[in-house]
Structure 1
Amino acid sequence: MQNNNHAPSVTVLLPVYNGEQFIEEAVTSILAQSFTNFEVLVMDDGSTDGTGKILRRLAANDARIRIHQRENRGLIATLNEGLALCSSELVARMDADDYALPHRLAVQYDYMTEHPETAVCSAGMEEYETGRILAWEGYGEAVRARLLFGCCLHHPTIMARRSVLLDAGGYDAAMPSAEDYDLWVRLTAAGYSLAVLPQVLLRYRVHPHVSRTAYKWQMGETTSRIQRRQLALLGISPTPRQLDRHQFCISHCPELPGKLQEAEAWLQKIVAANEQKVMYDQDVFLRTVNEIKKDFVRSSWQRDPGQYVRRILRTIVKDGIYRLRLGEDFEKRIVGAARRFGFFSQSRKQ
């Protein structure tokens, strides 16, 4: 049940930079929520287009909109500053080009109210352009185990307890393009419980025709650092090739049979390591690994010849780099160059 006191129960934190094309639709989708006791804190990160004018017009018609405008500092600084300015304990993230479904805040507010042990809850989302559904369900230890393999919380869908995020130090500027993934891992390591709700609560723009090569490369580098840090706690120091197999595990991309066999062998290595270290609840961890293996998709020449050939070429290039064995620093430089040309794609988005 929502609280109808004067003070907002939820602050929707919405950073924007030059978002005039979609900002009105994004804000309007929040204003149309069935849950009404909220404020929208729009952090205008130095926009130079018509974003500010649109926001001022919207704010003039709805007192729940609060605009904070200053020079451009980037997403991480904007998020951390926004957290400090929020008026409520519960904070919901929203991107400037997405669309919140009408019941989004109601569903998440009810869940967070009924589960005070939960620090952050995420939800499913639908790709705006394709209609593809991105959804998974998990709670507590299942989320912590899943985070070993990748970010299972969709950042634009989260609702979180502001005090917990601030106590954790907020988003780390040293983790660009995967600052949310890093934060969730740090929270679970500190003993906080996270939840991923199965409901689809957001329509998310992918922008398939916009080049994001530099962003994906940076995200891949940061993601690798986060995963190496977690694997080290299990006593595992992966080679670049092993880390590639690790990151493939929850990519849901069709892959060659031989590569799938390597990924399965890698999963068994991790299971054995956890049996020794007991970093994760063993039953939950084994279920997580079995779920991951169940989702493996084999690439097929008959079903999609073009994709099959691309996977062969991609594997030849990547594994050829790994076989050079010219030192980790050299490999990092080569792998970084390969990412820039799209050989090392990352499907997770901010």
Structure 2
Amino acid sequence: MKISIVTAAYNASQYLPDLIESIVGQTYPPFEHIIIDDGSTDNTPQILEAYAQEHAFVRWWQHENQGQYPTLHQAIQAVSGDVLCIINADDKFASADVFETVANYWKQNPMSQILYGRTLRMDEDGNPLPNLDPHWKPSRWLIRHVSYIQHCSLFVSVPFLHQNALYFDLSLPTTGDWDWIIRLFHTAQHIGYSSHAFGVFRMHANQMSRTGEDTSLQGRKIITQKHHSSFLISSLIRRLLIYRGMFLLGWDILRKKGMSAFIRRMRLWIKKRLSTIRHGS
């Protein structure tokens, strides 16, 4: 089983080493990590070259800035493994046995087209954030209404991907990953789910959905219209999942660390949530 990882990097020097180190430390070795630098102006190319010199599985090159989805599209075309995972340069894998879990699953389920695991969420300082993931087996109806599956926790059969031309819609400025996952799940016949946490999704102020011309709120409206789902229902489910995640994480902090830690974290969440609302997401 050859596992390919794909990343589009733009000015990613702050978090990129965390991602690559989470791959270096895997108990099951990756076949390749294809990273395209999308015209970075920081020292991202120097970081990539240093890792490529040290680790043969790191393949990278640079082109002029084209945007995230065209860059990922190009990287996907270059993949030569059996399964792939697309992970952002500011995310990372949750534990050292993620690839081993994926390889064992496909060994036991060779007809599978998709394997999805849980996603952990954190802020830029590494503090845990409430999860949208309801810990349910994937639901085609639910995924059309709320983007609770992150592609850093999603492994896809490469032949299945190419045979069905399941690539990113390059007309979408944001939320193209949600659109891509919806189409994956509506096409696949053999979908696996693992309660194992595969990816860590990092929330920070410089994410594309916060800084692009199209806000994530507008992007969600576009996706719900495209896939004939209800934006009102989508917003309601998303809010319920956020509150559920806040309750579960808050209860865990209160139980393990006490009231003072709980109050500090609640203040942090409220501050970040107000900032998110101001950015329209």
Is this a same-fold pair by TM over 0.5?
yes
Shift of 1:162: 1.9
Query: Please, what TM-score do these two structures have when normalized by structure 2?
Result: 0.76
SS in 1 for 2:203: coil
Alignment partners' CA distance in 2, 1:150 and 1:345: 16
SS in 2 for 1:118: coil
Match of 2:200 among 199, 203, 209: 203
Q: Which amino acid aligns with 2:146?
A: G
Distance 1:24 1:341, change over 3 A: closer
Distance 1:196 1:344, change over 3 A: farther
Distance 1:190 1:73, change over 3 A: same
Match of 1:187 among 166, 184, 187: 184
- CA RMSD between the two structures: 3.2
Hey, what does 1:342 align to over in structure 2?
Answer: 277
Shift of 1:57: 1.1
Q: Is there any run of 5+ residues in structure 2 with no aligned partner, and where? A: 249-262, 267-274
Hey, what does 2:114 align to over in structure 1?
Answer: 120
Distance 1:222 1:63, change over 3 A: same
Hey, what does 2:258 align to over in structure 1?
Answer: none
Hey, what does 2:255 align to over in structure 1?
Answer: none
- Map 1:97-136 → 2, pairs under 5 A: 97-100=90-93, 101-128=95-122, 129-132=126-129, 134=131, 135-136=133-134
Alignment partners' CA distance in 2, 1:174 and 1:227: 15
Q: Which amino acid aligns with 1:244?
A: L
Hey, what does 1:250 align to over in structure 2?
Answer: 238
Hey, what does 1:333 align to over in structure 2?
Answer: none
Shift of 1:24: 1.6
1:46 aligns with 2:39: yes
Shift of 1:19: 0.8
By relative contact order (CA 8 Å, sep 6+), the higher-ranking structure is: 2
Shift of 1:209: 8.3
Shift of 1:245: 4.2
Distance 1:220 1:67, change over 3 A: same
Distance 1:111 1:53, change over 3 A: same
Distance 1:227 1:118, change over 3 A: farther
Contact 2:113 2:188 in 1 (8 A): no
Shift of 1:197: 2.5
- Map 1:110-189 → 2, pairs under 5 A: 110-128=104-122, 129-132=126-129, 134=131, 135-139=133-137, 142-166=138-162, 167-189=164-186
Sequence identity percentage: 18
Shift of 1:79: 0.8
Shift of 1:89: 2.2
Q: Which amino acid aligns with 2:199?
A: L
- Map 1:1-350 → 2, pairs under 5 A: 3=1, 9-100=2-93, 101-128=95-122, 129-132=126-129, 134=131, 135-139=133-137, 142-166=138-162, 167-207=164-204, 213-215=210-212, 217-231=214-228, 243-251=231-239, 252-254=241-243, 342=277, 345-346=280-281
Shift of 1:210: 7.3
Aligned length: 248
